[in-house]
Amino acid sequence: MSDSGKVLLIDGMSFLFRAFYGSAWGGAYRQTSTGVYTNAVYGFTKMMLDYAELTRPSHLVVGWDVASRESLVRSQWYDGYKSNRQAAPDELIPQFDLVKEVTDAFSVPNLGCPGFEGDDVLGTLSTRLSEEGHEVIIATGDYDSLQLISERVSVKILKNGGKHEHYNPASLLALRGITPEQVVDVKALMGDASDCIPGCPGIGEKTATKLITEHGDLDNLYVNLANCTPKMRSKLEENRDQVYLSRKLATIIRDVPVEYALEDALWEYDRQVVQNKFDELEFGRTMAARVG
């Protein structure tokens, strides 16, 4: 593959959960005639095809979480990490395996690594691939992925209504006022309630962004605490260990031991194999028309 290759990396959990809840609001879950739930798989497939049409990749990979919360490396660092997560709805659970049958039909690799999260898999792949000279596009619902942006890596953040926000180094600076390297330091200060990352109590996104842009990074902020107001200095000093733990928790791991062969990720598929899977899942004419 030449330098002009373009790899689309999809955050499997982001797509699947968004597809499930986006189609479940009315309480009517799509099912086959035999009662198999397919609403999340149908929505996932539609989104995957949408982003493939939008970005025209040469290669496509899906990254997944494959571990329970308790077995995550971050849970070893901090007991409370993601402790607020609820069990997946009963209607969604069987679709975790089913969606991988669909991606297999498209010859799309499903990659995961025990102990690590999908973000870490995508972070590892995007780092390796960009260093090899490939253009990488990450499609996800997770703003943490903005730390992965570089000249060769861009991120599309999923939004409601099938829309997305596109981020590269320039648009990240224009829209959020920070660089990719500063994303984690902002999160270290503000925390993240959705993942139970504590941050520094009393500091929100606006203040965190202001502190990091003024000082450059977290380490320099702590070197220059004397320049902060007494109230802010006290807050930061008191929670120093928690802030640095939060930075560690929020940092995407980029050296996950995940094995892959890029040639296996070519965005090429046997239309008949895909059509057979669509027929099995009773996806209907609209979806069938999208694969010819």
140 pLDDT exceeds 60? yes
Q: What is the 3-state secondary structure (H, E, C) of the chain?
A: CCCCCEEEEEEHHHHHHHHHHHHHCCCCCCECCCCCECHHHHHHHHHHHHHHHHHCCCEEEEECCCCCHHHCHHHHHCCCCCCCCCCCCCCCCCHHHHHHHHHHHCCCCEECCCCCCHHHHHHHHHHHHHHCCCEEEEEECCHHHHHHCCCCEEEEEECHHHCEEEECHHHHHHHHCCCHHHHHHHHHHHCEHHHCECCCCCCCHHHHHHHHHHHCCHHHHHHCHHHCCHHHHHHHHHCHHHHHHHHHHHCCCCCCCCCCCHHHHECCCCHHHHHHHHHHCCCCHHHHHHCC
Range scoring the smallest mean pLDDT among 81-95, 203-217, 227-241: 81-95
286 alpha-carbon distance from chain centroid: 28
Does pLDDT of 130 surpass 50?
yes
Tell me what pLDDT residue 71 has: 77
Residue 1 has pLDDT above 60, yes or no: no
Q: What are phi and psi of 150, to 5 degrees?
A: -155, -170
Condensed to tens digits (0 to 9), the pLDDT of residues 19-28 reads: 999 886 667 7
Amino acid in the structure at residue 181: E
Q: Does the pLDDT of residue 97 top 50, yes or no?
A: yes
Model pLDDT for residues 4-40, shown as the tens digit of each residue: 589 999 999 999 999 999 886 667 789 999 999 999 9
Domains 6-175+252-290 and 178-250 share a fold: no
Q: Which residue carries 């780092």 as its tokens?
A: 127
What does the pLDDT read at residue 66?
Answer: 83
Q: For residue 70, what pLDDT is reported?
A: 75
Q: Among all chains, which residue has been given the structure tokens 């973000």?
A: 119
Asked if pLDDT for residue 3 goes beyond 50, the answer is no
Tokens of residue 52, six digits: 């493939």
**Averaged pLDDT for residues 77-102:** 92
CATH topology of domain 6-175+252-290: Rossmann fold (3.40.50)
Q: What is the pLDDT of residues 152-174, one digit of tens each?
A: 999 999 998 888 999 999 999 99
* pLDDT 10s digits, 225-240: 999 999 999 999 999 9
Domain chopping of the chain, boundaries = 6-175+252-290, 178-250
> Which superfamily does CATH assign the domain made up of 178-250 to?
5' to 3' exonuclease, C-terminal subdomain (1.10.150.20)
Percent of the chain past pLDDT 90, that is, above it, reads: 85
Per-residue confidence at 257, pLDDT binned at 50, 70, 90?
A: very high
Q: Which pLDDT score is estimated for 138?
A: 98
Q: Which of 27-31, 133-137, 175-179, 209-213 has the lowest mean pLDDT?
A: 27-31
Poorest-pLDDT segment among 12-21, 70-79, 113-122:
70-79
pLDDT value at 52 more than 80: yes
pLDDT at residue 278 is higher than 60: yes
Report residue 2's pLDDT band, with 50, 70 and 90 as the boundaries.
very low
Mean pLDDT value of segment 95-110: 97
pLDDT band at 85 (very low <50, low <70, confident <90, very high): confident
